[in-house]
Chain A
Amino acid sequence: QQPVQSPQAVILREGEDAVINCSSSKALYSVHWYRQKHGEAPVFLMILLKGGEQKGHEKISASFNEKKQQSSLYLTASQLSYSGTYFCGTEIYGGSQGNLIFGKGTKLSVKP
């Protein structure tokens, strides 16, 4: 049931773009995205609640394709502060409402 995140890791130069994908084998009710810096707690980025929904947070946006059971996180013109590990948390139809199943994470490193 654990969603699969890809890539596992990515290295960028400042100003470059990246896409992180989150795919599930189960039908999804919602997808949550979090960023965690080393030694810190995960920090909420955004929730996507329905198919086709897209959201943005600064230069970070996400989409949710309900039919494909996947979500993508888009990081545009990356900044040094974007470095960290990104996790998707999925809420599955038929699962315990509100419980999130997290992917293993994608480690993003932004270099000057």
Chain B
Amino acid sequence: IAGITQAPTSQILAAGRRMTLRCTQDMRHNAMYWYRQDLGLGLRLIHYSNTAGTTGKGEVPDGYSVSRANTDDFPLTLASAVPSQTSVYFCASSNNRNTDTQYFGPGTRLTVL
């Protein structure tokens, strides 16, 4: 059992380019989340999904979009990357949304130049 996988591990991207960060879980968890982590700011929620077919906005959703076509996959897209989106991105999942343990993926380190 892999848990949660993220791809790519790291990426350097030119400003203005489109980028999709991939996240896949094999635990059949209903809820999935995307966070960004910046030095000194902790983890901030970007978007979440309660279940396949639904998504919601977190604390810092601007400049990002997500989709949840099935239970396992929750891709995060930057339509036109900007340098302020340089960060480490973590995907997480939980069995349900009702105060449940969140399991984190290994992260994607993204640098936008």
Q: Contact residue range for chain B?
A: 20 to 34
- Inter-chain contact A29/B99, CB cutoff 8 Å: yes
User: In the complex, what's the smallest C-beta–C-beta distance from A101 to chain B, in angstroms?
Assistant: 7
Which of B20-28, B64-72, B100-108 binds A? B100-108
User: In the complex, what's the smallest C-beta–C-beta distance from B61 to chain A, in angstroms?
Assistant: 12
Which chain B residues lie closer than 8 Å to A32 at the CB level?
101-102
Of residues 73 to 108 in B, which have CB atoms within 8 Å of A's CB atoms? Answer: 90, 94, 96-107
Of residues 58 to 112 in A, which have CB atoms within 8 Å of B's CB atoms? Answer: 87, 89, 91, 96-105
Identify A49's interface contact among B48, B58, B99, CB under 8 A.
B99
- Inter-chain contact A100/B40, CB cutoff 8 Å: no
- Inter-chain contact A99/B43, CB cutoff 8 Å: no
Q: Is B41 an interface residue (CB 8 A)?
A: yes
Which chain B residues lie closer than 8 Å to A91 at the CB level?
99
Q: Is A2 an interface residue (CB 8 A)?
A: yes
Q: Is B42 an interface residue (CB 8 A)?
A: yes
Which chain A residues lie closer than 8 Å to B106 at the CB level?
40-41
Separation of A40 and B90 alpha carbons in the complex (Å)? 10
Q: Is B62 an interface residue (CB 8 A)?
A: no
Separation of A2 and B105 alpha carbons in the complex (Å)? 23
Which chain A residues lie closer than 8 Å to B99 at the CB level?
29-30, 47, 49, 91, 97-98
Q: Is A51 an interface residue (CB 8 A)?
A: no
- Inter-chain contact B42/A103, CB cutoff 8 Å: yes
Say whether, besides A97-B97, A98-B94, A99-B58, A44 and B102 are in contact (CB < 8 Å): yes
- Inter-chain contact B45/A41, CB cutoff 8 Å: no
Residue in chain A with minimal CB distance to B100: A98
Of residues 39 to 59 in A, which have CB atoms within 8 Å of B's CB atoms? Answer: 40-44, 47, 49
Given contacts A41-B104, A47-B99, list 6 more A-B pairs with CB under 8 A.
Answer: A40-B106, A41-B106, A87-B42, A98-B50, A99-B45, A105-B42
Which of A's residues lie within 8 Å of B, judged by CB?
A: 2, 29-30, 32, 40-44, 47, 49, 87, 89, 91, 96-105
